[in-house]
A and B are shown apart, each in its own frame.
Chain A
């Protein structure tokens, strides 16, 4: 992984390999996910890969009825919604993700601040999608 280029392809390959990888700036230590080749904070071009623990909290979310065609192809519809959110990872960076383990038909029951863990893609061959699962203790729905 340390040899991999700082690209989207490397990030998604790592996700397939059940690793959540970000980049850390050698100059200012800022951690980014998605990976970056240039630090937007201090503009250093010296970055390293860093594995993230995959734990975080839900900052905001929505449940989507009129989905992208990719999500419709997975069986979501106007009567079967899915949940997307922004997750604040314990290491600091925030990331957009699909949120599973919540009842997307009942958004009033989903709470900001819910603890979530990365849910690695199970099926090989399909394009990997970054997903997080609401952790046990939350009013979970499997």
Chain B
């Protein structure tokens, strides 16, 4: 049964803060940076007073920066006082959920103009505490209690996938190399550099300090070095994991009949899907995310398009294995083929189906509640031909975002069209 929207929402503005580690900035200040960036992107302008409601995704602001009840604070910062301000949470898919709730608000007829965003301020805590906060997104009394961390949960999937399909470490590494190459072209990215750049700078530092210099001749040599790229949760190593990030992103959503009054090139959201899944132990198949398969099926059916129609996708590569599984769950590749596809360059920036042109969570950074919206911002730039050095070299009129909560306990998929 395909769900239909009574009326569609269109994106007419989009912006992000810089992503990275900003010890001197609060989450609200990063959100305001994204909001200011968004205001400047609306071709014919928007008055803040015309925005009717705010939806903000944030996964754990209480744990990360001691701030509960975040939505009114954000509303205050950007000048949306005395209006509905709603925080939504779906772990790392909080941003995607904020978008969906904003779309539903518009589809219902209640609002014509809403601000949808996401924010997370993660770097205040030391890594050990961030590990605990993220582990709590799993099934706490049964998964994190036995020691399963967030990388650990994806490592369990990677081991199962490796056993079933013969995944190689080079295939995982190819995801990281590709996404860093894209991130090197994204000035907002936390790691605006390729893995070769990182390797070269490490070598230079070692020489300068008079330390023994490793014999790395390629990115693969560097990534296979256990000192340079240590195990986090086998088979996942440091460079298989997205970083800990501060950042925010937002988009301006309007009812379809108003879209052209803001810009000649609105991006319509034509499909939205959301689904949840069992905890890890309840799942039949550990090589796929059933939530992603269900959410994408709903989104494709609503949009009336198929996977082969999609021209680019921003997917939830919180870990390299997650991107490989995502490209299969979304129907771009058969099960077990996602690893070979990345090795063959099919998902590269100018490949047949570019995946994560922004650099993905891996290189752009992963401020968990903001990531789902930062993906939408990239789609907005790519579909309007304004993505600068990382612009896809063909006309993009259909794109997709895939945003996962925790280890696939929730997933949101959205499909976009430029008409």
Residue positions of A touching B, CB distance < 8 A: 8, 33-34, 40, 59-72, 76, 78, 81-82, 84-86, 93-98, 107, 112, 127, 129-131
Contact = CB atoms under 8 A, between A and B. Distances in A.
Contacts of A82: 147
14 contacts: A8-B141, A34-B141, A60-B160, A62-B155, A62-B234, A62-B235, A65-B230, A65-B233, A68-B131, A71-B147, A82-B147, A85-B156, A96-B281, A112-B160
A112 to B, nearest CB: 5
B247 to A, nearest CB: 22
Contact of A97 (B146, B233, B234): B146
Given A68-B131, A69-B129, A59 B160 contact: yes
Contacts of A72: 128
Given A62-B234, A69-B131, A86-B156, A94 B147 contact: no
Tell me whether chain A's interface is mostly helix, strand or loop, or mixed. Answer: mixed
Contact of B147 (A34, A86, A98): A98
A81 B159 CA distance: 16
Contact of B234 (A33, A63, A69): A63
Contacts of B281: 33, 86, 93-96
B231 A131 contact: no
Interface in B131-150: 131-132, 135, 139, 141-149
Nearest to B148: A84
B160 A96 contact: no
B280 interface: yes
Given A34-B141, A59-B286, A64 B233 contact: yes
A94 B282 contact: yes
A5 to B, nearest CB: 15
B174 to A, nearest CB: 21
A96 B152 CA distance: 11
A58 B231 CA distance: 21
B127 interface: yes
B180 to A, nearest CB: 21
Nearest to B157: A60
B209 interface: no
B232 interface: yes
Contacts of B144: 68
A72 B139 CA distance: 19
A70 B136 CA distance: 12
Given A59-B286, A86-B281, A96-B280, A64 B146 contact: no
Interface string B38-72: 00000000000000000000000000000000000
B156 A84 contact: yes
Interface in B272-309: 278-283, 286
Contacts of A8: 141-142
Interface string B345-361: 00000000000000000
Q: What 5 pairs across the A-B complex have the smallest Cβ distances?
A: A62-B155, A60-B160, A107-B234, A94-B281, A63-B234
Given A34-B142, A95-B281, A131-B146, A65 B231 contact: yes
B196 to A, nearest CB: 25
Given A81-B231, A86-B286, A96 B148 contact: yes
Nearest to B132: A69
Contacts of B234: 62-65, 81, 107
